[in-house]
Amino acid sequence: MTDKKIRLGIIGLGAEGGMYAQFIDQGMVPNMQIGAICDTLPEKKGRADELGVPFYEDYIELLESGDVDAVVTTVPHYLHPEMGIAALQRGIHALVEKPVGVYTKQAQELIDFAATKPDLTFGVFFNQRTNPLYIDLKNLIQSGEFGALRHTSWIITTWWRPQGYYNQSEWRATWGGEGGGVLVNQAPHQLDLWQWMCGVPKKCFAKLAYGYRRDIAVEDEVNAIVDFGNGATGHFMTCTHDMIGTDRLEMLFDKGKIVVDGSQKVTITRLSDAEQAISENMGMEEVKLLFTGQLDTKKLMSVEEKSYESVWGYQHATVMQNFAANILDGTPLIAPGPDGINGVRLANAMHLSSWTGQEVDM
């Protein structure tokens, strides 16, 4: 079965869907071909004709056409769970765009339904999980070398969106159309990566600014503190109004620290022993030397710096290839669908906290 190509139905041929079609058409996803395309706008048929694939205006017709083995849902967020369920009901594998739902209940319905179809593949499009930088860090943290997390902070404001972006379509940045702002549209990637590496928070306090520096109804800035329940804490800041943009992730562990700048440069500092052991074993004489600047603590740590390059399209193509491989030969999914709920739950908790002014127990 490994020579077979998965025939993908693309539901929604907007900016994202069009890009995926291009990647597949250019052969960037070797185990996949375009099976059919669906869009509610009839004029999109021209592009389907160019690609030589069937076109449907109704996604149910596409699902029942026999033209596709799987679908990807590049449609407004609210529709992801409904379309995912409709596909799985008809024996079609589902690769659901992030967020897997706008609110937790909706996402849970899809996840629960998918659990009743264990033979079908259900993935979520977290392309940043294929970034070698984050894969390396995930493995490093999971190895246990650094011990327990103490604190993490992510300032991710490289999601600059000018007003014209929001004016592009009626549903963009509305409660009815998107169900939120930067938390639902841009930041889900980091909300996923953060929890993937650091664990799932237990409590959250957030201040959100709605239409702060953009003429939109939803949030264009988020400032949150999370509590991982085991003593570890985190801070998350994102917005769409910082044109200069910061992307800085810091993770402090019992045995060292990891700092990521611009999702490209990683600085890993390893302590010679657990920090608490160093602290407890340091005698009074050394403490005195420390305070007169005569103790070189740099001797007790080593620093490793790594740089990563990003290749346009690599991440998205890799998610699709991995999804197809899971269908074809059971290769483990990089981003299983059920993982999608963590980011939705955290985004929901941040909204709720901002509305009530209270810390939210998750």
**Contact positions toward a second copy, by CB under 8 A?**
15, 150-151, 153, 155, 157, 160, 162-165, 167-168, 205, 207, 209, 212-214, 221, 223-225, 227, 231, 233, 235, 237, 239, 241-244, 246, 248, 250, 252, 256-257, 259, 269, 271, 275-276, 278-280, 282-284, 286-287, 290-291, 293, 297, 300-301, 312, 357-359
Task: Please identify, using beta-carbon distances, which residue of 139 and 276 lies nearer to a second copy.
Answer: 276
Residues 6+ apart with CB under 8 A from 45: 55
Least distance to a second copy from the beta carbon of 213, Å? 6
**Least distance CB 102 / a second copy (angstroms):** 23
Our measurement of the distance from residue 169's CA atom to the centroid of its chain's CA atoms, rounded to an integer in Å, reads 23
Least Cβ distance, residue 70 to a second copy (angstroms): 26
**DSSP single-letter state for residue 337:** G
**Cα distance between residue 339 and residue 18, in whole Å:** 25
Within a 10 A sphere around the Cβ of 241, how many other Cβ atoms? 17
Q: Between residues 45 and 202, which has the closer beta carbon with respect to a second copy? A: 202
Nearer CB in complex with a second copy: 200/278:
278
In the chain the first and final C-alpha atoms are separated, in Å, by 43
At its nearest, how many Å lie between a second copy and the CB of residue 141?
16
The residues near 243 (Cβ < 8 Å, ≥ 6 apart) are 160
Q: How far apart are CA 2 and CA 283, in angstroms?
A: 63
d(Cα 306, Cα 267) in Å, to the nearest integer? Answer: 7
Residue number, 122 or 236, with CB nearest to a second copy: 236
Report in angstroms how near the CB of residue 52 gets to a second copy at its nearest.
Answer: 25
Contact 24, 8 (CB under 8 A): yes
**Shortest distance, position 252 Cβ to a second copy, whole Å:** 6
Work out how close the CB of 298 gets to a second copy at its nearest, in angstroms, rounded to a whole number: 10
Residue 302: Cβ within 10 Å count: 12
Instruction: Find the radius of gyration of the CA atoms of the chain.
Output: 23
Shorter beta-carbon distance to a second copy: residue 105 or 213? 213
Which of residues 117 and 306 has its CB atom nearest to a second copy in the complex?
306
Closer to a second copy by Cβ: residue 117 or 235: 235
Measured on CA atoms in the order 96, 38, 131, 158, is the torsion positive or negative?
negative
Considering the complex, state which of residue 155 and residue 317 has its C-beta at the smaller distance from a second copy: 155
Altogether, the residues listed in the chain come to a count of 362
Which one-letter DSSP state was computed for residue 43? G
Distance CA 68, CA 114 (A): 18
Q: Write the burial class of residue 118 (CB in 10 Å: 0-12 exposed, 13-18 middle, 19+ buried).
A: exposed
Q: How far is the CB of 280 from a second copy (least distance, A)?
A: 5
How far apart are alpha carbons 178 and 171 in whole angstroms?
7
Q: Return the number of the residue (313 or 336) whose C-beta is nearest a second copy.
A: 313
Neighbours of 259 (CB within 10 A): 16
**Least CB distance to a second copy at residue 231 (A):** 6
